[in-house]
Amino acid sequence: MAIGYRDRVTKPDTSAERSPILPTVLHCCTALAATPGRLLRPRRADTTLLANLDVRPVPTASVAVGLTVLAQATISMPTTLVAEGVRSLGATPLMMAAFVVEHPKARFLVDPALCAGVHDRVLPELPFPVSYLVAPNKPVRGLAEALAEYGLAGEQIDFAVPTHLHWDHVSGLVELPSSVELRLPAVEYDWAMGGTHAPVGVARGPLRGRAYDRFELDGPPVLTFPRSKDLFDDGSVVLVDLAGHTPGSLGVLLAVDDGSRVLLVGDAVWTKLQVDLLREKAPMPGKLFDADRDAAFATIHRLHALPEGIELIAGHDYEALAARAAA
Ligand SMILES: [Zn+2]
Protein backbone atom coordinates (compact mmCIF):
# COMPACT_ATOMS: atom_id res chain seq x y z
CA MET A 1 0.00 0.00 0.00
CA ALA A 2 1.33 3.39 -0.91
CA ILE A 3 2.10 5.59 2.04
CA GLY A 4 0.73 9.09 1.61
CA TYR A 5 2.24 12.23 3.05
CA ARG A 6 -0.34 12.23 5.82
CA ASP A 7 0.95 8.89 7.07
CA ARG A 8 4.61 9.71 6.80
CA VAL A 9 6.08 9.55 10.28
CA THR A 10 9.69 8.77 9.49
CA LYS A 11 12.06 11.52 8.43
CA PRO A 12 15.61 11.69 7.13
CA ASP A 13 18.26 11.33 9.82
CA THR A 14 19.62 14.84 10.08
CA SER A 15 21.39 14.32 13.41
CA ALA A 16 24.81 14.76 11.78
CA GLU A 17 23.74 18.25 10.70
CA ARG A 18 22.52 19.30 14.13
CA SER A 19 24.63 22.00 15.79
CA PRO A 20 27.04 20.34 18.26
CA ILE A 21 25.79 20.48 21.85
CA LEU A 22 28.86 21.97 23.57
CA PRO A 23 29.13 25.13 21.44
CA THR A 24 25.36 25.56 21.72
CA VAL A 25 25.49 25.34 25.53
CA LEU A 26 28.38 27.84 25.59
CA HIS A 27 26.41 30.12 23.26
CA CYS A 28 23.45 29.92 25.67
CA CYS A 29 25.73 30.75 28.63
CA THR A 30 27.20 33.79 26.84
CA ALA A 31 23.71 35.03 25.99
CA LEU A 32 22.55 34.50 29.58
CA ALA A 33 25.56 36.36 31.00
CA ALA A 34 24.86 39.36 28.76
CA THR A 35 21.19 39.53 29.74
CA PRO A 36 20.98 41.11 33.25
CA GLY A 37 22.74 44.32 32.19
CA ARG A 38 20.42 44.76 29.23
CA LEU A 39 17.33 44.30 31.37
CA LEU A 40 18.43 47.41 33.30
CA ARG A 41 19.91 49.35 30.37
CA PRO A 42 18.32 48.34 27.07
CA ARG A 43 20.04 49.15 23.79
CA ARG A 44 19.23 52.71 22.81
CA ALA A 45 17.42 53.58 19.62
CA ASP A 46 19.52 54.88 16.74
CA THR A 47 18.02 58.36 16.31
CA THR A 48 20.16 59.05 13.23
CA LEU A 49 18.83 55.98 11.47
CA LEU A 50 15.25 56.92 12.41
CA ALA A 51 15.69 60.49 11.17
CA ASN A 52 17.08 59.33 7.84
CA LEU A 53 14.52 56.64 7.02
CA ASP A 54 12.58 57.28 3.83
CA VAL A 55 8.91 56.48 4.19
CA ARG A 56 7.32 55.55 0.86
CA PRO A 57 3.57 55.59 0.44
CA VAL A 58 1.55 52.40 0.81
CA PRO A 59 1.54 50.76 -2.65
CA THR A 60 -1.79 50.75 -4.44
CA ALA A 61 -3.46 47.37 -4.85
CA SER A 62 -5.87 46.48 -7.67
CA VAL A 63 -6.89 43.22 -5.98
CA ALA A 64 -7.62 42.22 -2.37
CA VAL A 65 -6.84 38.91 -0.68
CA GLY A 66 -8.48 36.81 2.03
CA LEU A 67 -6.44 36.28 5.18
CA THR A 68 -7.09 33.55 7.76
CA VAL A 69 -5.00 32.83 10.84
CA LEU A 70 -4.71 29.16 11.83
CA ALA A 71 -3.78 29.07 15.53
CA GLN A 72 -1.60 26.04 16.26
CA ALA A 73 0.09 26.25 19.65
CA THR A 74 1.00 28.51 22.55
CA ILE A 75 4.11 29.11 24.65
CA SER A 76 5.02 31.88 27.08
CA MET A 77 8.15 33.80 27.95
CA PRO A 78 9.10 36.38 30.58
CA THR A 79 8.07 39.76 29.21
CA THR A 80 11.42 41.30 30.10
CA LEU A 81 13.12 38.84 27.73
CA VAL A 82 10.66 39.44 24.88
CA ALA A 83 11.44 43.18 24.94
CA GLU A 84 14.54 44.04 26.95
CA GLY A 85 14.28 46.76 29.55
CA VAL A 86 10.60 46.21 30.29
CA ARG A 87 10.37 46.18 34.09
CA SER A 88 7.99 43.30 34.55
CA LEU A 89 8.00 40.03 36.41
CA GLY A 90 5.13 38.84 34.25
CA ALA A 91 5.08 36.47 31.30
CA THR A 92 3.92 37.21 27.76
CA PRO A 93 1.76 34.57 26.08
CA LEU A 94 2.97 33.76 22.58
CA MET A 95 1.30 31.88 19.75
CA MET A 96 2.54 29.77 16.87
CA ALA A 97 0.34 30.06 13.80
CA ALA A 98 0.02 29.58 10.05
CA PHE A 99 -1.71 31.92 7.60
CA VAL A 100 -3.91 31.08 4.61
CA VAL A 101 -3.90 33.76 1.91
CA GLU A 102 -6.52 33.54 -0.83
CA HIS A 103 -5.67 35.49 -3.97
CA PRO A 104 -7.84 35.22 -7.10
CA LYS A 105 -4.94 33.48 -8.86
CA ALA A 106 -3.65 31.25 -6.03
CA ARG A 107 -4.24 30.00 -2.51
CA PHE A 108 -1.04 29.89 -0.49
CA LEU A 109 0.29 29.62 3.04
CA VAL A 110 2.50 32.06 4.84
CA ASP A 111 4.42 30.09 7.48
CA PRO A 112 3.30 26.43 7.31
CA ALA A 113 4.19 26.46 10.96
CA LEU A 114 3.66 23.22 12.91
CA CYS A 115 2.87 19.58 12.28
CA ALA A 116 1.06 17.28 14.69
CA GLY A 117 3.54 15.59 16.99
CA VAL A 118 6.14 18.29 16.40
CA HIS A 119 7.76 17.46 19.77
CA ASP A 120 8.72 14.03 18.44
CA ARG A 121 8.96 14.62 14.72
CA VAL A 122 10.95 17.88 14.51
CA LEU A 123 12.16 19.22 17.86
CA PRO A 124 14.70 16.37 18.36
CA GLU A 125 16.58 17.88 15.42
CA LEU A 126 17.42 20.94 17.49
CA PRO A 127 20.43 20.76 19.83
CA PHE A 128 20.09 20.70 23.61
CA PRO A 129 19.05 22.93 25.35
CA VAL A 130 17.34 24.77 22.47
CA SER A 131 14.86 21.94 21.89
CA TYR A 132 13.61 22.37 25.47
CA LEU A 133 13.60 26.16 25.49
CA VAL A 134 11.37 26.47 22.42
CA ALA A 135 8.98 23.54 22.91
CA PRO A 136 5.37 24.75 22.70
CA ASN A 137 2.64 23.73 25.12
CA LYS A 138 0.70 20.60 24.24
CA PRO A 139 -1.57 19.94 22.50
CA VAL A 140 -0.34 21.26 19.16
CA ARG A 141 -2.87 21.57 16.36
CA GLY A 142 -1.09 20.18 13.31
CA LEU A 143 -1.29 21.97 9.98
CA ALA A 144 -3.33 19.25 8.23
CA GLU A 145 -5.87 19.29 11.08
CA ALA A 146 -6.03 23.10 11.11
CA LEU A 147 -6.51 23.20 7.34
CA ALA A 148 -9.20 20.50 7.51
CA GLU A 149 -11.12 22.47 10.14
CA TYR A 150 -10.95 25.41 7.75
CA GLY A 151 -12.29 23.15 4.98
CA LEU A 152 -9.09 22.64 3.02
CA ALA A 153 -6.83 19.73 2.10
CA GLY A 154 -3.10 20.07 1.50
CA GLU A 155 -3.66 19.45 -2.24
CA GLN A 156 -5.59 22.72 -2.40
CA ILE A 157 -2.54 24.75 -1.40
CA ASP A 158 -0.63 26.13 -4.40
CA PHE A 159 2.61 27.14 -2.64
CA ALA A 160 4.04 28.36 0.64
CA VAL A 161 5.99 31.47 1.61
CA PRO A 162 7.88 31.11 4.90
CA THR A 163 8.74 34.41 6.58
CA HIS A 164 11.98 32.59 7.45
CA LEU A 165 13.23 29.02 7.83
CA HIS A 166 13.24 28.51 11.61
CA TRP A 167 11.60 25.22 12.61
CA ASP A 168 8.41 26.79 14.03
CA HIS A 169 7.57 28.37 10.66
CA VAL A 170 8.04 25.35 8.38
CA SER A 171 7.40 22.15 10.38
CA GLY A 172 3.88 21.89 8.94
CA LEU A 173 5.47 21.09 5.58
CA VAL A 174 5.71 17.44 6.61
CA GLU A 175 1.91 17.34 6.38
CA LEU A 176 1.73 18.94 2.94
CA PRO A 177 2.18 17.16 -0.41
CA SER A 178 5.73 17.42 -1.72
CA SER A 179 4.28 19.22 -4.75
CA VAL A 180 3.70 22.33 -2.62
CA GLU A 181 6.58 24.57 -3.62
CA LEU A 182 8.41 26.87 -1.22
CA ARG A 183 9.02 30.43 -2.41
CA LEU A 184 11.70 32.36 -0.58
CA PRO A 185 14.80 34.53 -1.01
CA ALA A 186 17.84 32.57 -2.20
CA VAL A 187 19.90 34.00 0.67
CA GLU A 188 17.55 32.41 3.21
CA TYR A 189 17.80 28.98 1.60
CA ASP A 190 21.59 29.20 1.38
CA TRP A 191 21.86 30.23 5.04
CA ALA A 192 19.61 27.42 6.32
CA MET A 193 20.73 24.59 4.06
CA GLY A 194 24.25 25.52 2.95
CA GLY A 195 26.56 24.86 5.91
CA THR A 196 27.70 21.59 7.47
CA HIS A 197 25.50 22.23 10.51
CA ALA A 198 22.02 23.70 10.49
CA PRO A 199 21.97 27.17 12.14
CA VAL A 200 20.44 27.21 15.64
CA GLY A 201 16.66 27.18 15.22
CA VAL A 202 16.69 25.42 11.84
CA ALA A 203 15.50 21.81 11.46
CA ARG A 204 16.36 20.60 7.98
CA GLY A 205 14.08 17.54 7.96
CA PRO A 206 10.88 19.39 6.97
CA LEU A 207 12.81 21.29 4.28
CA ARG A 208 14.05 18.19 2.44
CA GLY A 209 12.54 16.75 -0.74
CA ARG A 210 10.66 19.84 -1.77
CA ALA A 211 10.61 22.15 -4.77
CA TYR A 212 11.95 25.66 -4.24
CA ASP A 213 11.49 28.88 -6.10
CA ARG A 214 14.43 30.98 -4.91
CA PHE A 215 14.26 34.64 -5.81
CA GLU A 216 15.85 38.02 -5.16
CA LEU A 217 14.01 40.94 -3.64
CA ASP A 218 14.73 43.06 -6.70
CA GLY A 219 11.73 45.38 -6.50
CA PRO A 220 11.74 49.03 -5.36
CA PRO A 221 11.65 50.37 -1.79
CA VAL A 222 8.24 50.00 -0.14
CA LEU A 223 7.17 51.90 3.00
CA THR A 224 10.35 51.99 5.13
CA PHE A 225 11.91 48.89 3.56
CA PRO A 226 14.73 49.05 1.03
CA ARG A 227 13.76 46.14 -1.23
CA SER A 228 10.58 44.31 -2.23
CA LYS A 229 8.94 41.78 -4.51
CA ASP A 230 5.37 42.16 -5.74
CA LEU A 231 4.23 38.53 -5.88
CA PHE A 232 1.33 38.96 -8.34
CA ASP A 233 2.27 42.36 -9.81
CA ASP A 234 -0.97 43.84 -8.54
CA GLY A 235 0.05 45.29 -5.16
CA SER A 236 -1.99 42.80 -3.14
CA VAL A 237 0.92 40.72 -1.82
CA VAL A 238 4.23 42.55 -1.53
CA LEU A 239 7.22 40.87 0.11
CA VAL A 240 9.62 43.23 1.88
CA ASP A 241 13.11 42.82 3.27
CA LEU A 242 13.25 42.29 7.05
CA ALA A 243 16.79 40.87 7.17
CA GLY A 244 18.41 40.47 10.57
CA HIS A 245 16.55 37.80 12.52
CA THR A 246 17.65 35.60 9.64
CA PRO A 247 19.42 36.78 6.45
CA GLY A 248 16.33 36.37 4.27
CA SER A 249 13.54 37.22 6.72
CA LEU A 250 10.49 38.50 4.88
CA GLY A 251 7.61 40.77 5.69
CA VAL A 252 4.39 40.05 3.78
CA LEU A 253 2.32 43.17 3.08
CA LEU A 254 -1.26 42.27 2.22
CA ALA A 255 -4.21 44.23 0.88
CA VAL A 256 -6.90 42.33 2.78
CA ASP A 257 -10.49 42.10 1.59
CA ASP A 258 -11.78 43.70 4.80
CA GLY A 259 -10.05 46.91 3.71
CA SER A 260 -7.07 46.60 6.05
CA ARG A 261 -3.39 46.67 5.10
CA VAL A 262 -1.69 43.94 7.09
CA LEU A 263 2.05 43.40 7.43
CA LEU A 264 3.04 39.91 8.61
CA VAL A 265 6.53 40.33 10.01
CA GLY A 266 7.50 36.82 11.04
CA ASP A 267 10.02 36.90 13.89
CA ALA A 268 11.60 40.25 13.04
CA VAL A 269 9.81 40.90 16.32
CA TRP A 270 7.92 38.39 18.42
CA THR A 271 5.34 40.91 19.63
CA LYS A 272 4.32 44.48 18.73
CA LEU A 273 5.61 45.62 22.12
CA GLN A 274 9.14 45.54 20.68
CA VAL A 275 8.08 47.84 17.85
CA ASP A 276 6.21 50.28 20.09
CA LEU A 277 9.12 50.55 22.56
CA LEU A 278 11.81 50.04 19.89
CA ARG A 279 13.49 47.27 21.84
CA GLU A 280 15.45 44.20 20.93
CA LYS A 281 14.75 40.81 22.39
CA ALA A 282 17.02 40.42 25.44
CA PRO A 283 20.41 38.77 24.67
CA MET A 284 18.86 35.54 25.88
CA PRO A 285 17.10 34.56 23.60
CA GLY A 286 18.09 37.17 20.99
CA LYS A 287 21.76 36.23 20.71
CA LEU A 288 20.71 32.65 20.15
CA PHE A 289 18.12 33.23 17.45
CA ASP A 290 18.88 36.56 15.73
CA ALA A 291 21.47 35.81 13.05
CA ASP A 292 22.59 39.47 12.89
CA ARG A 293 21.63 41.51 15.95
CA ASP A 294 22.57 44.87 14.41
CA ALA A 295 20.56 44.25 11.26
CA ALA A 296 17.66 42.92 13.35
CA PHE A 297 17.65 46.11 15.44
CA ALA A 298 17.76 48.27 12.29
CA THR A 299 14.73 46.36 11.01
CA ILE A 300 12.87 47.11 14.26
CA HIS A 301 13.55 50.81 13.56
CA ARG A 302 11.97 50.39 10.10
CA LEU A 303 8.90 48.77 11.66
CA HIS A 304 8.70 51.50 14.32
CA ALA A 305 8.69 54.18 11.60
CA LEU A 306 5.83 52.67 9.57
CA PRO A 307 3.07 55.11 8.62
CA GLU A 308 -0.41 54.98 10.12
CA GLY A 309 -2.80 52.47 8.66
CA ILE A 310 -0.55 49.40 8.61
CA GLU A 311 -1.71 46.58 10.89
CA LEU A 312 1.50 44.89 12.00
CA ILE A 313 1.16 41.24 13.01
CA ALA A 314 4.27 39.87 14.69
CA GLY A 315 4.98 36.19 14.24
CA HIS A 316 4.15 35.13 17.78
CA ASP A 317 1.99 38.04 19.00
CA TYR A 318 -0.79 36.21 20.83
CA GLU A 319 -3.08 39.22 21.02
CA ALA A 320 -2.82 40.16 17.34
CA LEU A 321 -3.03 36.57 16.12
CA ALA A 322 -5.92 35.60 18.40
CA ALA A 323 -7.88 38.67 17.29
CA ARG A 324 -7.50 37.67 13.63
CA ALA A 325 -8.08 33.98 14.35
CA ALA A 326 -11.35 34.83 16.09
CA ALA A 327 -12.38 37.06 13.19
ZN1 LIG B 1 9.16 31.81 15.35
User: Average model confidence (pLDDT) for the chain?
Assistant: 90
Ligand 1 centroid to Cα of residue 162, in Å, is 11
Q: Is 220 left (phi over 0), alpha (psi -120 to 50) or beta?
A: beta
Instruction: Supply the pLDDT for residue 52.
Output: 93
Strand extents, DSSP E, the chain: 66-78, 91-103, 106-110, 159-161, 181-185, 212-215, 228-230, 237-241, 250-255, 261-264, 310-313
Instruction: Supply the pLDDT for residue 14.
Output: 63
Instruction: Supply the pLDDT for residue 7.
Output: 36
Ranges of residues in the chain with a pLDDT under 70 are 1-16, 18-29, 31-35, 38, 326-327
| Residue 276 DSSP label | H
| 158/236 Cα distance (integer angstroms) | 17
| 172/221 Cα distance (integer angstroms) | 31
Ligand 1 centroid to Cα of residue 1, in Å, is 36
pLDDT in tens, 289-310: 899 999 999 999 999 999 999 9
Number of Cα atoms under 13 Å in the Cβ half of residue 142: 18
pLDDT in tens, 94-134: 999 999 999 999 999 999 999 999 999 999 999 888 888 88
Percentages helix, strand, coil for the chain, rounded to the nearest 5? Answer: 35, 20, 45
Ligand 1 centroid to Cα of residue 233, in Å, is 28
pLDDT in tens, 207-230: 999 999 999 999 999 999 999 999
Ligand 1 centroid to Cα of residue 314, in Å, is 9
Q: What is the value of pTM for the model shown? A: 0.91
